[in-house]
Structure 1
Amino acid sequence: MNLFDRVSEDIKNAMKAKDKVALETLRNVKKYFIEAKTAPGANDELSDDAALKIIQKLVKQGKDAAEIYVGQNRQDLADAELAQVKVMEAYLPKQMSPEELEAALKEIIAETGAEGGKDMGKVMGVASKKLAGLAEGRAISAKVKELLG
């Protein structure tokens, strides 16, 4: 079962369970999936990779919005955003721990022969591809800076 079908099935389950947060979140995700499927050149298909990228983008947006709400003393809105993020994160692969991330990046640095800050772009290019979906871009970037700095 691909990700699109899984989300569709989970929408039905959320309706039956009367889970408003999951239902609202998954309907929103499905809307983005349908937009991607019907985009010019998509041939009415959505690969799991593309679907994962959409969910990752929505999770990042939700976390950023929650951060802004907290800054504006609107914890109620932040909690609502984070509840939706939690629903979406169930569809993402397990995120790497900071230790696993550091080990993977040290391996990539050795692989690319990077020696300093000037080689950050080279390392980030490889790391972004290899660790896509397993760690946030911000976390990867910060750790690469630390290791090369």
Structure 2
Amino acid sequence: MSALKDRLSTDLTTAMKARDQLTTGTLRMVLSAVKTAEVAGKSARELTDDEVLAVLTAEAKKRREAAEIFDTRDRAELADQERRETTIIERYLPQQLTDEELTELVTAAITETGAAGPKAMGQVMKVVQPQVIGRADGGRVSAEVRRQLAS
């Protein structure tokens, strides 16, 4: 079992003993998503920590997007619920990159690949993505790459 998945299971047990319904429900949803990812494909397999991290990142993104939608529909109580769940999931994610750190990484990748112009975006993203897994949203990364390649 990956260390991150083991930590999630341990924290779920702790939350259940503490009768923390929000944390219990959130961790159950996350572990369910991890198990679904494990059995997806042709054969079941154990996920690595990086793959579990990718599932956690996707789950956090789903919660953020749902909160935004609930806000636009004047459903503040549901938006707050989604934000609380996001906060719990983010405990297991690495520290997010600041805008300055992301800019530095993208600049280094552009220099490394010798990329110029918007058509080289794929080359740069291929270098940057492994460095930012779980630490920056893909939309933020691609926007920064696009901005730097345009200038």
> Quick check: TM above 0.5?
yes
**2: CA distance, partners of 1:112 / 1:133:** 23
- Range moving further from structure 2, 113-122 or 87-96: 113-122
Aligned residue type for 1:41: S
Question: Is 2:98 the partner of 1:79?
Answer: no
Figure out how many residues of one structure are paired with residues of the other and give that number. 148
Aligned residue type for 1:48: D
Structure 2 gaps of 5+ residues are none
Aligned residue type for 2:85: Q
**1: CA distance, partners of 2:138 / 2:106:** 12
Report matched runs for 1:1-149 at 5 Å: 2-39=3-40, 40-43=42-45, 45-149=46-150
Question: Shift of residue 78 of structure 1?
Answer: 0.7
Question: Shift of residue 9 of structure 1?
Answer: 0.6
Question: Shift of residue 18 of structure 1?
Answer: 2.0
Deviations for 1:14-41, whole angstroms, at most 9, x for unmatched residues? Answer: 1122211111000111112222333442
Aligned residue type for 1:49: D
**2: CA distance, partners of 1:34 / 1:60:** 18
Structure 1 gaps of 5+ residues are none
Deviations for 1:48-84, whole angstroms, at most 9, x for unmatched residues? Answer: 1111111111111111111111111111111100100
Question: Shift of residue 99 of structure 1?
Answer: 0.6
Aligned-pair identity in percent equals 40
**1: CA distance, partners of 2:116 / 2:130:** 20
Taking structure 2 as the reference length, the TM-score comes to: 0.91
Aligned residue type for 1:33: V
**1: CA distance, partners of 2:74 / 2:123:** 40
